Amino acid sequence: MSKLTLKAVGDTQIIGTRRFAASPEQVFRAIRTRRWCGNGCWAGGLDDAGVHLRGAARRQDSLRVGKWQGGGFYLTGEFEILEPPHRIVHVERMHLPDATPDNRVETTFEADGTGTLMTVRMTLPDAATRAGMLATGMEQGMEASYVRLDSMAVAP
């Protein structure tokens, strides 16, 4: 429904917003699967990760955009808060192959007219980590995934 926008806030945060053409319940249901990953990057299925509150998760993904084009990586992390269909809070680390510093991610889903406004607030430990993350081309990979998520959310 709209393109992802990312902006740096303060020294350590990145805030992304995107509107979807489906309700918060539909977007949350779609995000729980792994199939919404666009172009093979940033797969994020909660169900496939075996997620439960305070549970650890590991996802093996292949990043095809930005600095590590063609390289593989995996994510580890812990889910701290699951409040379907409105909020997910988790900590994640990318292994490239070494682990990056913790990225605390809070994702909210708000009813917005006939759709949903999703806000993703990423909090990094310092400005240098945030700058490195933004330099990876993450916006392109995230948007490709969200385009697919949007179409899945409105599908019956």
Q: Where are the beta strands (DSSP E) in the chain?
A: 5-9, 13-20, 56-62, 72-83, 87-95, 103-112, 115-123
The predicted model gives 11-28 an average pLDDT of: 94
Better pLDDT: 55 or 116: 116
Distance of CA 50 to the CA centre of its chain: 16
The predicted model gives 115-138 an average pLDDT of: 91
Domains and CATH numbers, the chain: 5-135+142-154 (3.30.530.20)
Q: What pLDDT is stored for residue 78 in this prediction?
A: 79
The position carrying tokens 């959310």 is 153
SS3 assignment, position 61: strand
Share of the chain above pLDDT 70, in %: 70
Residue 105 has pLDDT above 70, yes or no: yes
State the Cα–Cα distance between residues 88 and 105, nearest whole angstrom: 8
State the Cα–Cα distance between residues 111 and 25, nearest whole angstrom: 9
Q: Which residues have C-beta within 8 Å of that of residue 14, sequence separation ≥ 6? A: 6, 7, 8, 121, 122, 124, 130, 133, 134
Residue 108 has pLDDT above 90, yes or no: yes
Helices 24-31 and 138-154, axial angle in degrees (round to 10)? 120
Q: What pLDDT is stored for residue 73 in this prediction?
A: 63
Do the Cβ atoms of 103 and 123 come closer than 8 Å?
A: yes
Average per-residue pLDDT in the chain?
A: 77
Model pLDDT for residues 39-74, shown as the tens digit of each residue: 444 344 454 444 444 444 544 444 333 444 445 666
The predicted model gives 6-20 an average pLDDT of: 96
Q: Region of 50 please: left (phi>0), alpha (psi -120 to 50) or beta.
A: left
